[in-house]
Amino acid sequence: MTDFPITLAFPPQGHFTQPHLAIPCLVAYLRQQGFEDVEQRDLSIEAYDHFLSKDYLSYAREKATARLPLDQSAGELSYKEARAFRAAAETAVSADVLIERIEDAKATLRGEACFDTDAYVPAVRALYHGLRLVSAAHFPSELTPHNFTMAYSNDRSADVQAAIRDGSQNPFLRYFRQEVLPGLVARKPRVLGLSIVYGSQLVPALTLARLVKEALPDCHITAGGGFLAYIGKKLMAAPGTADCLDSIIFHEGEGPLNALCTALRDGTDLGLIGSLTWFDRGGDVPLVVEPRPIENMAMHPLKLDDAPAPDFEGLPFDKYLSPELVLPYDINRGCYYGECTFCTLPTVIGPGYRTRQADTIAGDVVALKARYGAKHFNFITDCMPPGMIQDLPEALIAREAGVTWWSDARVEPRAYTKAGAQRLFESGCRKLLFGYETATPRLLKLMKKGQSLKGISEVSKNCADAGISVTWYAMVGFPSETVEEARASLEFLAQHEGIVREVSLQTFHIDEVSQVYKEPETFGVEMIEVEGADLALYHDYRSSVGMTQEEAAEMFGEMMAGFRRHLPIFAGDTIFYFMQKSHYFLHLASGTTPDEFAERCRVRADERRARGAQADLRLRSGFTVQELPFSYKDAVELLGHPLARAARPDFLTGRFVANAEEEAAARLAPLPRAERVLAYDAENHDFVELRPGGLEVVRALDRAGDFGSLLEQFDAKLPGGPERRARLTHFAAELHRAGLLAGATTQEPVPAGSAH
C-alpha cells in the first residue's frame, strides 16, 4: 500500500532527551496492518534542534533586540514590565555568546561529556538560555525544555485560534512554514496524524494543522493523545477547529487510526469507525456553514499482548539531547488499581487495564535492543501490578536482556520485598518512582491511595538497599490539606534522607474528569466557573478548610527549599539532572550507584561553597557585561514570587488563572532604579549581577591578567592595609563562587589579610 502515504507527527513541545512513545506505537500497528508508507516525525526534537542553532539564534537576537529595547530611562520597573526587562537584559548580555557556543552545548549533551558535571551543567544552562533568547524574540511567549506558553490561554478557543495565527508571538508558525510544510507538500500524505499528549502541544499542533489544511485540502488531518482525551469533545465543538482538523481519535489510537486510514483509502463510511469524532463536510457538496462534529461509538481497546512492539524507524535519534538512547516501551495501559481520587490517568488511556505478558515484554526489549542498539528503557506504565513486578525481572533475566530501565510504580509492599527489589535490580531496574503524595493518613484515605506510610517506607528502603534509586511523587494543596500537614510531608521525607533521591512535587489541580470535580462536597471545595472558557479542563476552587490555592503555591516554595536541604541532587546546580528526563538515570545505568551520585553532588556543592581567591584566578573566556537601570536579580525574584507565578499558565493547565495577573500587579511592589551590571560568560553560562564598582575591579583584574598580578600591583601601589586587601580578596572569592572567575589550576587561596 505504498500509494497511500501517511505521516504521523509528534508536535512540539515534549521532552528533548528521548522520543515519546505514542507515535512509534501507532506506526508499528499501521505497518503491521499492511500500510507500508508510514512516515513518523518528531517535530518537537526537530524544532528544538532548529531553534537551538547558530543561525536561528542570530535571527532571534535581531528580532528580540528590535522587539524589546532595553529602556534605560524608566523611573521604576512595575511587575508588568519586569518580564520584558528580564528578557531584554538577558538578550543584551548573552545572545552573542550563545550564538557562538550553542552547537558546542548540544554536542556536550549528546556525547560522553554529558557525564562530566563540569561540562554538563554549563551546557544545559546554555540550552536553557538559548531558549530564553528564542522566547524573547517571540515575547511574551515562553519556550523552555519543559513547556510552551503564550499570552493566549489554552482554555479559550478564541485565544487558541488567535495564537495559531500570531506570527510575531508563535515561533512555530514560521518554523512550520519554512522547515516542515515544504516536505509535507512534496510528500502529499493522505492522512496526517498529530499526537497531542501535553497541553503545551495544543497551539503548535493546531498551527501546523491549519497550514497543512490550507496547503493540502485533501489530506485528512486527525489528532489524538492524552490531552485530547480530556478536551477533545470541547475542541471539536469549538469555532475554528474545522479549519484545522478533520477528526479526533479518543483514547487508544491504534484500532481507530487503522480503521480511519482503511476507510479513507477505500472510500467507506467514517461513521462506522469506533472512538472517532469527525466533521461531516457534506461529501461532494461542500457545506457553507461550519460542519458539525459527529461522535461515533467507542471502540474496544486492543489486546495489548497482540500489539506489535513500538517501531522507532525514521526518528532522528542523533538529535535527542542525551548521550545514549533511552527508548520508551509500554508494558501495560490503564491502571489495575485505578481508585485514587485525584488521578485521571486511567480515564485518559481508555477503559480497563490491559497488559502484555512478561515474556512478550522481555522478547520485545531484546528485539528493540538488537534493532536500535538501545541498552536503556523507560517502561511506560501507570504502575505494575504485583504479579508483573515478580514476573518481569525473571523474564528479563532469563532472556539475558542486558538492559537497564526505569518506570513508575505503586506502593506494593508484598512485591517490593528485599528479595523482590534485588531481582528487579538484577534485571536492570535502576530507578523507580512511587506515588508517596503525603504523610498524612487522613489525606491518604481521602485520596483513596490504598497505602500506608509504613508501606511507602518499607518499599523505598528495600529498593534503596538493592541499589535502585527511589523517587517520590508528592502533592501539595490537596483539598483540606493544612500548612502543618504539608510540613509533615516534608518532615517524613527528611526521615528518608539517603533513601529517597528525588521528589517530583505537584501543586494540586482539579480537572473535570477527577472525582474531586464530580463530588466537590466530599472534599469540601466549591468550583469557580470561569465564563468563556469553552476549552476549560482545570478549575479553580474555594476550599472551606485547609490551605487556599495561594497558600499552597507558597507552600510549594517552602517544600522545594526543604528538598534542596535534604536531597543532594537538588542542593545545587546538579538539579539539572533531575530536570532533564533520563539524565540522572543514565548515570545510574552507566554503573554509578545512587550513593556515589549523591556524594558527587555533595562534593560539587561543597567545592563551590569553599572556593577562595587563589592567585591564578582569571576572567572566563567570552566574558560580557551589560549595564542595567534596574536590578536583574530583583526582577527575577519578583517574577518568581508565587503571585507572579500564578499569573503565568503552567505546563499542566496551560491557562491563565482568573485575575491572577491583576492581583500580582496590584500586590507586587515595583522595583526602584538601581545601577547594575549584568555579566555572562561563555564557559560557565550563568548570569551574575554586579555593581558598577565591582565592574571596575573586574576590568582591573582583566587588565592585570590574573588576580595574583592585580594583588601585586595593589600591594605595590596602595599598601592600604589588610582591610582593603581583604575586601578585594573576598570579592574575588565571590566571583569565583559565582563562576565568573576560574583558576588555571587548583591552588591554595591567597591569604586575605596579609601582603605576600
Residues in contact with ligand SF4 by CB under 6 A are: 335, 337-340, 343, 345-346, 382-383, 410, 435
Beta carbons within 10 angstroms of residue 230's beta carbon? 19
CB of 618 to ligand SF4, least distance (A): 52
User: Whose CA is closest to 319, among 632, 14, 699?
Assistant: 14
Which does residue 435 touch among ligand SF4, other proteins, none (CB within 5 to 8 A, set by kind)? ligand SF4
Piece in contact with other proteins (CB under 8 A), picked from 44-52, 109-117, 520-528, 684-692: 684-692
Cα distances (Å, whole numbers) of residue 485 to 444, 465, 491, 500: 12, 28, 10, 20
* Phi, psi at 624, each rounded to 5°: -135, 155
The binder of 46, among other proteins, ligand SF4, none, by C-beta within 5 to 8 A per type, is: none
Rounded to whole angstroms, the Cα distance separating 344 from 356 reads 22
Strand ranges (DSSP E) for 296-358?
Answer: 326-330, 332-333, 354-355
Plot region of 195 (φ>0 → left; ψ -120 to 50 → alpha; else → beta): beta
- The piece of 63-71, 296-304, 541-549, 689-697 that touches other proteins (CB under 8 A) is 689-697
Applying the rule CB under 8 A, the residues between 203 and 242 that interact with other proteins are 226
* Phi–psi pair at 377, nearest 5 degrees: -130, 145
Residue 170 or 332 having the CB closest to ligand SF4: 332
Among the listed residues 174, 177, 178, 176, the one whose alpha carbon sits nearest the alpha carbon of residue 166: 174
3 state DSSP class of 334: coil
Least Cα distance to 710 among 624, 619, 607 occurs for 619
Secondary structure string (H, E, C) spanning 438-451: CCCHHHHHHCCCCC
Which listed range, 3-11, 98-106, 335-343, 719-727, lies at the site for other proteins (CB under 8 A)? 719-727
- Footprint of other proteins on residues 634-653 (CB under 8 A)? 636-637, 640, 645, 648-652
Is 558 a residue that touches other proteins (CB under 8 A)? no
Q: Which three cell numbers stand for residue 40?
A: 513518523
Judged by CB under 8 A, does residue 482 bind other proteins?
no
Q: Judged by CB, which is closer to other proteins: 20, or 61?
A: 20
Q: Considering only CA atoms, which of 164, 169, 238, 242 is closest in space to residue 204?
A: 164
Report the C-alpha gap between 610 and 608 in whole angstroms: 5
Residue 636 binds which entry of ligand SF4, other proteins, none, CB below 5-8 Å type-dependent: other proteins
CA distance 123 to 139: 24
Single residue of 97, 302, 365, 380 touching other proteins by CB under 8 A: 380
Among residues 1, 294, 579, 605, which is the contact residue for other proteins, using CB under 8 A? 579
Residue 513 interacts with other proteins (CB under 8 A): yes or no: no
Residue (203 or 219) nearer to other proteins, CB: 203
Identity of the residue, 100 or 715, whose beta carbon is nearer to other proteins in the bound complex:
715
* Rounded to 5°, angle at Cα 511 from 521 and 17: 145
| Binder of residue 506, out of ligand SF4, other proteins, none (CB less than 5 to 8 A by kind) | other proteins
Q: Which of 76, 10, 129 is CA-nearest to residue 678?
A: 129
C-alpha span between 361 and 367 (Å, rounded): 10
Does 504 engage in binding with other proteins (CB under 8 A)? yes
The terminus-to-terminus CA distance of the chain in angstroms comes to 82
Q: Residue 276's binding partner, choosing from ligand SF4, other proteins, none, with beta-carbon cut-off 5 to 8 A by kind?
A: none
**Run of H or E residues at 71:** none
Set of cell numbers at residue 259: 480503521
How far is residue 501's CA from residue 153's CA, in Å, rounded to a whole number? 35
User: Rule CB under 8 A: is residue 433 a binding residue for other proteins?
Assistant: yes
Applying CB under 8 A, among 666, 720, 753, 754 the residue interacting with other proteins is 720
Residue 639 near residue 656, CB atoms below 8 Å: no
The nearest distance, CB 715 to other proteins, in angstroms, is 8
Instruction: Classify residue 715 by its DSSP letter.
Output: H
Which residue number, 26 or 349, has a Cβ lying nearer to ligand SF4?
349
Complex with other proteins: residue 211 or 711, whichever CB lies closer: 711
* Of residues 227 and 279, the one with the C-beta less far from other proteins: 227
Partner interacting with residue 335 (select from ligand SF4, other proteins, none; CB below 5-8 Å by kind):
ligand SF4
| By the rule CB under 8 A, 560 interacts with other proteins | yes
Q: How far is CA 7 from CA 66, 176, 184, 191, in A?
A: 37, 15, 8, 6
- Closer CB to ligand SF4, 383 or 500, in the complex: 383
Among other proteins, ligand SF4, none, what binds residue 110 when CB lies within 5 to 8 Å by partner kind?
Answer: none
Contact between 473 and other proteins by CB under 8 A: the answer reads yes
By beta-carbon proximity to other proteins, the closer residue of 313 and 696 is 696
Partner from other proteins, ligand SF4, none contacting 242, C-beta within 5 to 8 A by type: none
Nearest-approach distance from CB 342 to ligand SF4, in angstroms: 7
372 and 317 in contact (C-beta within 8 Å)? yes
Q: With CB cut-offs between 5 and 8 Å by kind, which of other proteins, ligand SF4, none does residue 688 bind?
A: other proteins
Binding of residue 165 to other proteins (CB under 8 A): no
Q: Point out which residues pair with 743 in neighbouring strands.
A: 617
Q: Is 716 in the site for other proteins (CB under 8 A)?
A: yes
In 3-state terms the chain splits into helix, strand, coil percentages (rounded to 5) of: 50, 15, 35
Q: Which of 308, 338 has the CB closer to ligand SF4?
A: 338
User: For other proteins, which is the closer residue by CB, 404 or 729?
Assistant: 729
Least separation in angstroms between residue 380's CB and ligand SF4 is 12
Least distance in angstroms from the C-beta of 36 to ligand SF4? 36
Cis before 140 (ω within 30): yes
From candidates 230, 377, 597, 687, binder to other proteins by CB under 8 A? 687
Name which of other proteins, ligand SF4, none residue 645 binds, using a CB cut-off of 5 to 8 Å depending on partner kind: other proteins
Residues numbered 593-632 forming contacts with other proteins, rule: CB under 8 A: 631-632
Match 533568547 to its residue by C-alpha cell. 133
Question: How are strands ordered across the β-sheet holding 510-511?
Answer: 510-511, 538-543, 525-528
By CB under 8 A, tell whether 525 contacts other proteins: no
